[in-house]
Structure 1
């Protein structure tokens, strides 16, 4: 496809937007749809997605499929390495060719897709046949470039972890931007923190925005809506990530520090205070084991009513819930319930381990034993029933009790295996957070459905782009698309004159 054809295709897309049509989104590695949810709320049309994980693809279809059956082609999981843009368009029975079907391409590719890609090698991915093309680490990125070429989007959104800025000494976003500029785009990248945009979670993410040259605009990023003085450690992590950023390239947008005049960041307490109390595991664990993801529990009525954030999660357009919500499943480890109850907000694993040791010593005394009994069956059985086995020096951050007055720490996909990084702040409940509470902290509305069992739901939530962060990015992008369409209209008007 030569440059003239590319320009004509992009001009037709701008003309379509100028006529009032919504921008059509194709998202690759969509997960359950956190970014898509934000894009939809900003007015984008969710035309298609590609997601390999079956449960995440099912969640996406259930939430955005408009009543399609679960076996519909739109709901099917797909491997981006085996699904070209042409095949996707055919599977979905779209009436347009791949290059005419989508206006925006979004991708949350795993950072391994960009591993160890030098500038010269990165450019060769789409061109000359060399040994690097046989490297499986490059295959996802090569597929992504194929989708750019085959769909000719007006705009591209890429999300990843900040460490990609310093991946084995490479500033991968800079290299990605170079490649996209050769394909006819203007590019920019920066780090956005979810807590700055109304998400009750301190979560740093790298975003790359690319706009087709025909739009005649430099990419723009949203400005913060909430203030937070970042917790200790984040500034150091940023310095490491930004070590290889070239400020002279013009691509990197400096990270914006929010004004302290803005509303404070949403705290965990404000985010969760109207969700149901869960304490059955302390008295009748069988009740908890019988509970299903779909079981709805009523909202609480906190003093003063639900917070503005809670109201947003309950009233999100298309996902409204009135009296209650589901997803109230938690992991059950009876050994740790007393430790959870005794921990103070903000406490980590070393403090939890000390509490467990103190409780163990008290229990020894009550049973007429002492530390001299070490090695005996009674001693070892009691210790195993009360003290977690992890070395505090090796796992200092394995546990963390949330502080109700602050945003949460980052939720990760590892929550699919372990939720001890997010212990509920309410000691009376003595537990880690539930699936619904994790979704709240990620800014998923209460009516959002997660397919699969509890572990799969936690994994989908931890992998997702927070919808409110996605909404902020989407609104900034929609504004630029409107401006480009308006500019095209003025140019056409002058030509007509």
Structure 2
């Protein structure tokens, strides 16, 4: 039950918005700021954030400092488990209390324990325990988030996570979160949204929870798709597993929007990347790539073809526009696999790559006149190691994947910080995995968005982020509902 003090705080916040104040947001586990960029673009002020990763916190500061000292408290990493809302207020020198400082509370809570891709890793490090993911302390961070709700009394709440949080060992975590929020005086709703349906050149399914304080008189709504995309079978299967324990008739669960095929087609990889610099130095002169800094700017490619609508948006995002070029043109140096990348078909994965490697190996044996040597000889083994990747295609069928230029990318993950083979560039002549800036484009980060740290850290930050365009779609609906609530309050005041 909501207390009289909490109700008074929320009414005070509504009155501030009614007097012309902008909604102010606190984001927990902000990462580099994908969701924050969406919130800001929708007209919500970024008042504070909490992020434990030092490089992601630095990236956030670089892009959202707005005059703040980049060496000051705004840029410091913080652990949501150990810093309270009151301590955050003090650190940042905000003039109001924790309860009066924020109107919107957002969070992209760590997903490793919930995501099935992370559960196998947790089993590995725990000695094979099947329920290791349930013991991961990150799985209970949403309870710490609920403490932030209690301390900050926001008018609106938005939470993002992976679909598997709906089926966490048979437990529907969003239902539990919504139950707690409803007991605290909020109307709640949750659903799955796919980034490709909102103009992101990537098939990326995510869970969103939205809640509004009862004082607003609003029920949560979610954005309607603007683009049509067919989900590959693997994503359909993941969706079915995630929804297994969801009551489709729940008052909290919002049925999934299925985009009409009359909508604009989803943005494909070529439309997203074609104007970015052509990178061949990894083959021609690897020293160039080794010397290149993440911050080095290269010119856009010149073409007689018109710039795609998506590329134009990435170049001209308000506050992050670029002119002649952009940075982030670092790629992994993996010379063994360059010939395989070149020969792979669009949309091909590791089993085909392995077959191509075996073919290249046989050709090399013939070329070097080594067809008759024994498989256990050092010459045979050494040559094979130079050409053929060691992974078992039966165990790693999805380890590699070559972009299809006409279709959205597969989901980018934080694992890109260690391995980008899941996203091989569609242009076989460039025979490489994607660059940092190309990953950022596929995630819908504008070209003027800067990433701190080295290449691996940048890939990790991008893979961890909420796609800004998806965050913007959610934020726009949330902002419209806040504005309507404020207008309703104005009308009531006049009456």
What is the TM-score of this pair, normalised by structure 2? 0.94
2:39 corresponds to which residue?
Answer: 39
Which residue number in structure 1 is paired with residue 455 of structure 2? Answer: 454
8 Å CA contact retained: 2:344, 2:352: yes
Q: How do residues 273-422 of structure 1 correspond to structure 2 at under 5 angstroms?
A: 273-370=274-371, 372-422=373-423
1:85 corresponds in structure 2 to 85
Aligned partner of 2:69 in structure 1 is: 69
Task: Return the offset for 1:259.
Answer: 1.1
For residues 113 and 89 of structure 1, what CA distance do their matches in structure 2 show?
29
Segments of 5+ residues of structure 1 without an aligned counterpart are 116-133
Q: Which sits farther off after the overlay, 174-183 or 6-15?
A: 6-15
Is 1:11 matched with 2:11? yes
Change (3 A) 1:154 1:348: same
Deviation of the 1:371 alpha carbon = 5.8
Corresponding position of 2:130: none
Tell me if 1:25 matches 2:25. Answer: yes
* 1:236 Cα deviation after fit: 2.0
Output the CA distance in 2 between the equivalents of 1:432 and 1:481. 43
Q: How does 1:152-191 map to 2 (within 5 A)?
A: 152-191=153-192
Secondary structure at 1:233's aligned position in 2? helix
Q: Is the 8 A contact 2:203 2:411 kept in 1?
A: yes
- Encode CA deviations 1:437-487: one digit per residue, 9 max, x unaligned: 000000000010000000000000000000000000000000000111111
Could you say which residue in structure 2 is the equivalent of 1:216?
A: 217
**CA distance in structure 1 between the aligned counterparts of 2:232 and 2:113, rounded to whole angstroms:** 30
Q: Report the alpha carbon displacement of residue 237 of structure 1 after superposing the two structures with TM.
A: 1.7
Task: Please tell me the root mean square deviation across aligned C-alpha atoms, in Å.
Answer: 1.6
Instruction: State the match for 1:131 in structure 2.
Output: none
Q: Give the whole-Å Cα distance in 2 for the aligned partners of 1:67 and 1:18.
A: 27
- Paired residues, number: 476
Q: Is the 8 A contact 2:73 2:92 kept in 1?
A: yes
Q: Is the 8 A contact 2:34 2:468 kept in 1?
A: yes
**1:303: Cα distance to partner?**
3.0
Please report how far the alpha carbon of residue 306 of structure 1 lies from its aligned counterpart in structure 2 after TM superposition.
1.3
Q: Which moved more, 1:404-413 or 1:258-267?
A: 258-267
Consecutive unaligned residues in structure 2, runs of 5 or more: 116-134
Deviations 1:111-130 (A, max 9, x none): 46889xxxxxxxxxxxxxxx
Deviation by residue 1:37-68 (Cα, 9 ceiling, x = unmatched): 01100000000000000000000000000243
Structure 1 range deviating more: 5-14 or 196-205: 5-14
The match for 2:197 is 196
* CA distance in structure 1 between the partners assigned to 2:483 and 2:6 by the alignment: 20
Indicate conservation of the 8 Å contact 2:113/2:136, yes or no: no
Residues 34 and 471 in structure 2, CA contact (< 8 A), matched pair in contact too: yes
Q: Is the 8 A contact 1:195 1:201 kept in 2?
A: yes
Q: TM-score, normalised by structure 1?
A: 0.93
Kept in 1: contact 2:110–2:138 (CA 8 A)? no
- In the aligned structure 2, how far is the partner of 1:95 from the partner of 1:68? 15
Q: In the TM superposition, what are the counterparts of 1:236-255 in structure 2 within 5 Å?
A: 236-255=237-256
CA distance in 1 between counterparts of 2:139 and 2:233 reads 35
Q: Distance in 2 between matches of 1:375 and 1:43?
A: 66
Q: Are 2:2 and 2:184, in contact at CA under 8 Å, matched by a contact in 1? A: no
Q: Does 1:94 align with 2:110?
A: no
Shift of 1:135: 9.3
**Residue of structure 1 in register with 2:104 after alignment:** 104
CA 1:59 to 1:207, structure 2 compared with 1: closer, same or farther past 3 Å?
same
Q: Partners of 2:324 and 2:142 in 1: how far apart?
A: 45
Match of 1:264 in 2: 265
Residues 63-72 or 31-40, more deviating: 63-72
CA distance in 1, matches of 2:342, 2:184: 57
Match in the other structure for 1:225: 226
In structure 2, the residue matched to 1:120 is none
In structure 2, C-alpha distance between the alignment counterparts of 1:442 and 1:112, rounded to whole Å: 19
- Once the 2 structures are TM-superposed, how far is the Cα of residue 2 of structure 1 from its aligned partner? 6.1
The 1:274–1:136 alpha-carbon spacing in structure 2 relative to 1, beyond 3 Å, is closer
Question: Following TM superposition, by how much is the alpha carbon of 1:373 offset from its aligned partner in structure 2, in angstroms?
Answer: 2.4
Would the alpha carbon gap of residues 443 and 137 (structure 1) be closer, same or farther in structure 2, given more than 3 Å must change?
A: closer
What SS does the aligned partner of 1:191 have? strand
- CA deviation after TM superposition for structure 1 residue 305, in Å: 2.3
Name the SS of the counterpart of 1:248 in structure 2: coil
* Greater mean alpha carbon deviation, residues 295-304 or residues 317-326: 295-304
